[in-house]
Amino acid sequence: MTNNHTTLIINKFGIIDPLEQFEILWIGGLVDYSLTNFTIILFLNLCLYSAFCIIYVKNYKILQNNQETYIYTAYHFIFDQCFNLIKNILWENLYIKNQQYFTIIFYLFCVILINNLVGLIPFSFTVTSSFIVTFFLACTHFIAINLVGITQWKWQFANLFLPTGVPLLITPFLSLIELVSYIARVFSLSIRLFANMMSGHALLKILIGFSWGLLISGKFIFFISAFPWLIVTLIMFMETLIGALQAYVFVVLTTIYINDILNMH
């Protein structure tokens, strides 16, 4: 009787697993490639980013030609703000004259931002809630940065792990600690983004399930359920800000790591 009663309560309030939204579901196959909700949303996000860039460049060419058909919309304003944001990040954290890393940093920021925000759309999938994705982004950039450093500094690159003014006896131990902390940057970058996206979306799922349970439980609790829905709205707004903030933090730390290698800090 207790088990049946518990089942009725769970069904009545619509309580479901908040981590269910992060499951990768197999949808079909294309030749030797499996189609899942993860791959489809990732492909659509990349198409969305490409469309944004094409539209912006097309309107920019119209502006350069002084044509009257140019329309400056909120979309162009947001794109310009992202452009200026990345430019300021590079000038403040990457102390080199030629900002040749602007393109890859801007692309990295936009991809993370779009994946974070698209995950807030109902029935979508948050690509950055998967650790393998965030680890791939962090690891590939980390490897590329170190290859650039090795190419530039050759054997002097090892000085990055050799603290100056340290007694020779403890140098191996400190070098090992420096190496471990240096490699840990990859995990700190990936785990920070992955954990924030997963925890925020799980919290949203719990609050929405709780609010929906109150809403369908009876007329008297209908007014009480308005308060959780207000909290859900505020949390949704906060998650939007967190999605943008995490993309910003990821890019800032990446530029700092690039600067450390290029200037051997």
| pLDDT confidence of residue 154 | 84
Q: Domain total for the chain?
A: 1
Query: What is the pTM for the complete model shown?
Result: 0.81
| pLDDT confidence of residue 72 | 66
- Residue 74 belongs to a domain: yes
| pLDDT confidence of residue 14 | 45
What's the mean pLDDT when you consider all of the chain? 79
Pick the closest to residue 79 from 124, 49, 99, 104 (CA basis).
49
- Residue 72 belongs to a domain: yes
What percent of the chain clears pLDDT 90, i.e. is strictly above it? 20
Low-confidence residues in the chain, pLDDT < 50 = 1-15
Q: Residue 40: which residues within 8 A CB-CB, separation 6 or more?
A: 27
For residue 33, give both structure tokens. 């490639």
CA distance 215 to 233: 15
- Residue 207 belongs to a domain: yes
| pLDDT confidence of residue 8 | 34
- Residue 5 belongs to a domain: no
Domain extent for 143: 16-263
- Residue 204 belongs to a domain: yes
| pLDDT confidence of residue 157 | 81
- Residue 142 belongs to a domain: yes
Encode pLDDT of 67-109 as tens digits.
555 566 777 788 888 888 998 999 888 877 667 888 899 999 9
